[in-house]
Structure 1
Amino acid sequence: MSTAEPAQLAWFKSGYSGNEGGACLEVATMPGVIHIRDSKTPARAHLSFPAVEWAAFVRYATRS
């Protein structure tokens, strides 16, 4: 797992995220690891997932 601090990561939101409401997730990627955090509280802890596990989650979540 990565030891990078949140301030060292390049966080981004989806282009589909609007500026109304602020209920967005932000993502930062590193080789083999995906980091996820709440855009409303960026200084708080974030979650980290192996890239293969995150890809499996996205496939599951987007199934029709």
Structure 2
Amino acid sequence: MNTEDASLQPRSELRWFTSSYSSGAGGECVEVAVEATAVHVRDSKQVAQGGCVLKVGSAAWSALLGAM
């Protein structure tokens, strides 16, 4: 992974969502925010602590979903 390509876009500008399959209790969800050229993924348990966000290119994200 090349971290030099990672942007430092403020997370507040992203619209995060969880899967409809996630439990209503929270705490065990993967959250996703979609942009035109990238998909951001984070662990809902780490949001309050300012946890890491994985930024994946749109093509790579599509390939991952296609392989599932």
Q: TM-score normalised to the size of structure 2?
A: 0.76
| Structure 1 position 32, deviation (Å) | 1.1
Q: Which one has the bigger helix percentage?
A: 2
Match of 2:23 among 18, 37, 45: 18
Gaps of 5+ in 1: none
Match of 2:35 among 11, 19, 30: 30
The aligned length equals 61
Aligned to 2:10: 5
**Identical counterparts, % of pairs:** 34
Q: TM-score normalised to the size of structure 1?
A: 0.80
Q: RMSD in angstroms over aligned alpha carbons?
A: 1.6
Gaps of 5+ in 2: 1-5
